[in-house]
Amino acid sequence: MIILLGLTIVSCNNSSKNVDSNNLSSADTLRKVPEKRTTTNYADTAIYVGQKLNDFISITQYRYSVKKEKIQIEGTDYDIYDVYENGQKKFAVEPDINKPDILWRIRIYGTDLKTENGIGVGSTFADIKTKYQIKNIGTDEGLNITVKDVSVVFLMDNSKLPIDWWNNMDNDKIPENLPIAQIIIWDTKSYLTLDKIIKTN
């Protein structure tokens, strides 16, 4: 079972500014990331866990607007690098707690960023079951789903989950039309490309 820490976003726009890739300040996240990382080959346009922050900015800023902003998790503010296209936030990256120049996690917000099987924000629980074999359904920080074929966490829209579901938490009674609110890439095996595709090696 994957333990998710601090996935509830309270605020994400406290003080934004354009990123100067030559003047990056330190950033903190909630948990320690293991030193050992899986060696994986990525596409030239890949954004991935373990990537250097400056490299991420270099390949991203020519197509998108990258802004260093704040995210509030469990009452504490942390730095996050939000990525916008035409004023709409598409995704964001969080730095490593011990190595602030390294990416730790990628949050997907845009509905046009999808997995290779066509699942993205706005897709439903039924869509996930159609395309993937479910590995785990968890309730840490809200209903979340992991699958066997892609190393991401699908965070479901808990505001659309019936309140009485929490009484028994019966997975057989999760609404088929419950949508994905956010996708988190947490592992080196999966990555995001600038072509808006979440791929898995």
The model's pLDDT over 177-191, given as tens digits with 9 standing for 90+, comes to: 999 999 999 888 999
pLDDT of res. 65: 95
- Binned at pLDDT 50, 70 and 90, residue 14 comes out as very low
Q: What are phi and psi of 126, to 5 degrees?
A: -65, -40
Three-class SS state of 106:
strand
The pTM is what? 0.79
pLDDT of res. 200: 85
Q: pLDDT for 153-178, tens place per residue?
A: 999 999 999 888 888 899 999 999 99
Closest C-alpha among 92, 100, 18, 84 to residue 52? 100
Q: pLDDT for 115-143, tens place per residue?
A: 999 999 999 999 999 999 999 999 887 89
Distances (CA, A) of 3 to 21, 22, 33, 75: 32, 35, 13, 19
Least confident stretch, 2-6, 54-58, 79-83: 2-6
The token pair that represents 12 in the structure block: 């994400």
